[in-house]
Structure 1
Amino acid sequence: MRAFFVLAISFGLLSKAYTQQNLYEDTFNGGVVGGGYSLGIDTSGTGNFSVSIPTGSTIRQAYLLAGRVGPAPDLTLTLNGTPFTFNSSNAFTGPFQTNYGGDSAVHAIDVTASISPATTAYTIVAPTQSSVSNKYVEFYLYIAFNNAALPSVTSAVFCNDADLNVITKSWTLNTTTPILTANPVGFAVFGGYAGSSTDSEKVTVNGTDLGSFYGPDFNAAGAYGAMAGFQYYNNTLTGYGDDNADQVIFGPDALSNIQAVIPNATTSIPVIFRNNANQIDNHIWTVFLTSSGSAVSSSPEIAVSGNSVDITNGDAAPSLADHTDFDSTAAAGGAVARTFTITNSGTGDLTLTGTAPDYVTLSGTGASHFSVTAQPTSATVASGGGT
């Protein structure tokens, strides 16, 4: 952070209950990786970082995040040569106050379509901005990937949505999915400034002091921008660069395994960030919470529709809307044709039990009045498929 001294503050700045917005939460077979770059007090710069995604993976979700202080003009940077523009349309939270300007925000751009699982090295190039205060300061790439060969993982992304110009910042990380502690639980901070051991940010999770983070980060301009680079898959948390996968947060290591400090299956984690110098100048933009997930079902799930309308299981009321009502036809030689679609919304293959080639058979009262004129070509309906 810049060497400013706060001569006087009101008691209203000492502590504030904070709100966070959940950008993303999901449980899936695969993993997550993340890394970033800080400009610190520089107005432009280039940052490089690496990630590791296992072979056979596909990209599930990816976000390029930025922390903005003050009413900065639009910024177009490049990620591996591809331009992305941060502007008011992708401000996920805010406006909130910082020591370096009001109208601050956390921005998020969905870059899923631009990310390849084969890419391991990333370069962020941020062009010159006119001010060290009203600018986009820190940047972070978060990637969630699918891989059926890996155990399930639960990942949540929490973005700040309250004033940062306070000494103590109290968060509560609320999840919809219980956080399991049988394996490591990754707590990764995307922060900014905190430029020295004196002007550092102490982190307390569920009443346990994890330590304090401060720069210089290995991937920051000057002594600024402590943020956690990490990966989580195969029930293993790994830190990148100067980040370690133990419980301790110290210096540029802004990653912690909080497995031992939270109760199993909790859905609410209290977190406190406090400036050790009683100043109001550091930033906490985002926290990434990652753990082993509950088992993801690999069972099939059948759905049947007629006329593009779902037919509810056990529905005994014929309807023209879903074509289960065949309406009327001539008694002699008349016929009414209807088409029904079988889909599989589960994660495992669906097997039709009829004997080939009659995979679909009819039964029940009046079954003899109906016939199947076009059978599915296979007994197997793959996950996400239909016939």
Structure 2
Amino acid sequence: MKNICTFFCFIFFANIAVSQTVLQAGDIAIIGFNSESYPVNNPTYDNFAFVTLVDLAPNTVIFFSDNGIRSNGTFRETEGYLKWVSPNKITTAGTVTVLTCSGIIQQGEGIVTKPAGDFNLNKDGEQIIAYQTTNNSYNGASKTFIYALTNNSWTSGAVDSHTSAIPSGLESGKTAVALPKVSGAFANNVVFQCPAFSLSGSQDEILQIIANTSNWILKEGSTPSEMNNLEFCPILINGFSIDFITFNQMRLKWGTISSNLEIMIVAKEGSAITDQPIGTLYNAYSTFGLGTSFDGGFIVYKGSGTTPDTSFIVTGLKEGSNYYFKAFTRTLPSGTQWSNGNASNPESVIARVQDIENVNITLNSFNSNNIADLNWTNYIASPKYDWWEGGSIIIMSTDSITTLRDDFNAKDVNTSSFNAGDEIMLAGCNNCKIALKTFGNPSETSNVSVNNLSACTKYYFKIFNNDGITPHAAQVNKWSDGVITNITTTCSEIKVEGNGIEIADGDITPTIVDNTDFGSIMENNNISKTFKIKNLGNGPLVLSNTPVINITGASAAQFLVTMQPPNSVSAYSESNFSIQFSAPLNCIGGPVYNATVNIVSNDNDETLYNFNIKGTCTNDCISFQPVSASSGAFITINGNGFTSSTEVYFNGVPSMNVILISSSQLQALVPINVTSGNITTISPNYNSCTSLTIISPAETCIH
């Protein structure tokens, strides 16, 4: 069975060897239920939970019913019953049991049957009532009601399946609890949630805390049952408690003991203490395992007096183990019978020595300045790590860390001996540095910025807590065993593609296949090519140039970025950019125009990514013959892109007769009275020119 982390509850052993435990109001508490599971209202999945506040003898019977109580104090017999029989052993106080409406035990032990009716929790108002009968029959005439819970309001009497009066002998707000609605709807997925501090007091006071609905998780809807999230909860009754826990010890506290009594405390690992001591021949040692052996455990304390011992420490415990403690008292000076305790004396507790896995370090962010923001969560469950007021340090390395607390303990130092950023010589830590140091008890969450980290690098971190200077059983300047974690700093990795083909960083040879060679276009024309920036890394690729794509070189003016990429490309993402090459007017001789594309980013090894591009300009008037002619003669012109609508001008005078021979050749009639000058051809989408001479060397053919 599972104990609410830790229920510190008193234990009654009277009569348990011969009969079941006869319970009174408040000896158990119902601490949760779900009446709208999935499938909705299916008794196989609807469930509820209860916790024992006293020890139960083997085979103790408890009945549960969802019938309401009429105004005459009897059940309204329209619903059902469950009968739970505790296992054939002592069920210790603090044991949590979870049952489904169909009688399945989801948590805990025992036997469940359905003696009558249909026990099925309704989402629109329901009650669960726990009781015993003298003859262990569900409908026995003599009933003792133990606890009741409803998500409706208590009424004067049940009139339907959703209502109920408070059962006889139960007290509203203590042993009869009514849960409030959630935004006007019935709370049908609920569980008691312990506060972050230890609960202490008498059994009545503990019942009041459980009855406080502000200590509950209240939900409406068929979400997963909150019974799946029953949290551990420290509860002590009548002053016997544990307030400090470290990796191998804990401190016990108890209230005032009568001057005529001697108290003896037994500690046991793994299971409850059930035997009864007899006589006085017991020796106690605060180191677990050295005192007199008893019931599988050991005597850790034996003493008397009216002044409570508020600083008794049990040492020699094992990390991650459950330890049960039980206090017995006897009358001085000659009493040989030991009592389990009663309502005014210390009784039994169970506590778990906490594993020192109290920190989870994660990477919040990593930026281009090589700074990582780390955050972590400390263990602050109750009992809290109050002994670690000496603060914490985090060590870091690019190699795996195997340093243990003993390596720190051997130095006999505290956190004041270190400074963040210092190198430190420790066994099991190569190239080790202090990433962080703090003072005081660890908070629930902390964060720190670690500077000068390298991108794309795995860093190991290990955190240790220090006991400080306050003595706790010679724990001065002792350290907890660290918890190791690691992070890999983010990195970006740039890749540029054209036409789906990678363009290498520093490429100086433009080619048609990857779009870096824009080809040959007619003068006074343009052409665009699209490129892709890919980020192959696990961190954002920051493009820091302004503009992002910058073009330099002798012919940079002929290239224009018509579509810029964003300033950042997410991890494993990509973005496009476009460049337009424009051929100038009157390009002569088919010139080549060269430029360089520059991209600046936070890529770790390619901060400047560049490659060359080029484009070529051509025209359609290449040559003509003869090179001189008279008016009325035909001139043959060779070139490109000629059509039937191509026009020809001689020194600005149009030819009245143009004959298209092919797209690369035409004939034109020299106009009458034309003077020497340029020959110009005009075709759709083209306006080009070349410096060929007609009539005289100074004249030019223009297209």
TM-score (norm 2): 0.18
In terms of fraction of residues, the more strand-rich structure is 1
Between 1 and 2, higher relative CO (CA 8 Å, sep ≥ 6) is seen in 1
Max radius of gyration: which structure?
2
